[in-house]
Amino acid sequence: MGKSKKLFLAILVLTLLALLIDLPRQIPINLSLGSRNISTSIRRPTFELNLGPIHWRRDLDIRQGLDLKGGAHLVFEADMGAIIESDREDSIKGVREIIARRIDLYGVSEPLIQTSSDGDRYRIIAELPGVKNTKEAIDLIGQTAQLDFREEPNEPQAASESGGSQPSILDFQKTDLTGKDLAKAQVEFNQSGTGAPVVALGFTDEGKDKFGELTKRNVGKRLAIYLDEMLLTAPVVQQPITTGDAVISGDFTVNEAKNLAIQLNAGALPVPVTVVEERTVGATLGQDSVFRSLRAGIIGLGLVILFMAAYYGRLGAIADLALIVYGLLTLAMYKLIPITLTLPGLAGFILSVGMAVDANILIFERMKEEERSGKPWRTAMELGFGRAWDSIKDANVATLMTAFVLLNPFEWSFLPTSGLARGFALTLAIGVLTGLFTGIVVTRTFLRVLYTRKETLSRKQ
């Protein structure tokens, strides 16, 4: 089997895999065969990978942004009373960064987080697509999450009414070990057989020494862990712990353990914040507007396919096949990454479709020029791809540079930070890269395998 045919089969397998990913979650099937009625459904598989510490899972649903799906709109106001005026801008930026980090850990895609100031008022506006429980979001995002470790006093105190199994807040005294000494927190599962979720703590180098000294002098005593003045747990120290690793256990659900780990990882807010506005918002575009936008995109794509087939004949039909492969691969990538689609994101995808078609037009026109110069078809085809590459490369690199500026991955303050602009840039960049692959690799392979023409030499006029 030739190289081109092997590549053709690889593209076919890749396309079928993309088609499987692109299928809806469930496809109902209702058939009537004589007196028998068959009612069943085809369910799309869930992609999951478990390799030791690596756990990767995708449900392959399309994620929608706030303008398509709705979500939560929250406004926090920062209390700058204790901050000198020259430091307030830096403080509000710090609040925004921590809130953004907490939202990322919460699992919200394409959030829009902005700051605003009006005189002495400093506010953070957060729009969270798909979040319906605003109270849970506020509890997670707005808490200060002050963690500290406390020990039993040297002088014994009366045990609590519950038999001393759970001391009260007054039973413990503060130490110098706090959340600042914490390097990381993550959810794990108890390995002793219960399988209960726990929160594993890892301390900094300085925190490890503090924790080691604290456990040495409290062997046989309770060591209490407090979060925002609330007792989380008070385990008995069985032996000194000098490795810098500890575990918070309790009657946690998986979600409770996850939220606690998020709060501890995100750290404390530099200034207190209060919620001044909260609401659940519906999709700003509405289902009818979304349907019309999709219909417009489908009509535009259909017109492009018809134009290519009408103007270039069989060449155009093969380019249309490559364009269909392009659409399947792009949608599959949106689901696998995953990408949260907004209306600007859809616009980025439609724009990238035009660039994918433009690459085929450049190639085909270059092939015509080579044929007019007297070269046989097969040679003209290969030269057409090679000599059109420079123009295709320059156009696509310029677009990718623009997408990079709009995406602003390094969070430069002088570039856009809007989630909607970034959504447009991301879908455009993915579309351009996929279009390069389909335009150069897929179309050329299809022509080599599927397109035949009698080789004739035409005399140069």
- The pTM assigned to this predicted structure is 0.62
Tell me what pLDDT residue 11 has.
95
The total of other beta-carbon atoms located within 10 Å of residue 168's CB is 13
Tell me what pLDDT residue 109 has.
63
Tell me what pLDDT residue 363 has.
93
* 286-450 fold: Multidrug efflux transporter AcrB transmembrane fold (1.20.1640)
Tell me what pLDDT residue 344 has.
85
User: Where do the structural domains in the chain lie, given as residue ranges?
Assistant: 71-144+270-281, 159-250, 286-450
Class of domain 159-250 as given by CATH: alpha beta
Q: Which CATH number fits domain 71-144+270-281: 3.30.70.141, 1.10.599.10, 3.40.50.300, 3.30.70.3400?
A: 3.30.70.3400
Tell me what pLDDT residue 459 has.
43
pLDDT values of the chain reduced to their tens digit, one per residue, 461 residues: 578 899 999 999 999 999 988 888 777 777 777 777 777 777 776 777 666 556 666 777 777 777 777 788 889 998 888 888 888 887 888 788 778 877 876 667 667 788 888 888 899 988 888 787 788 788 777 766 667 889 988 765 544 433 344 445 457 888 988 877 887 788 888 877 677 888 888 888 898 999 999 999 988 888 888 866 777 778 788 888 888 888 877 777 887 887 777 766 666 676 888 889 888 877 666 566 667 777 877 888 888 889 999 999 999 999 999 999 999 999 899 888 878 778 888 888 888 888 888 889 999 999 999 989 988 888 999 999 999 998 899 989 999 999 999 988 887 767 776 667 888 899 999 999 999 999 899 999 999 998 876 655 444 44
Task: Give residue for tokens 């390799």.
Answer: 51
Tell me what pLDDT residue 288 has.
66
Tell me what pLDDT residue 144 has.
63
Tell me what pLDDT residue 166 has.
47
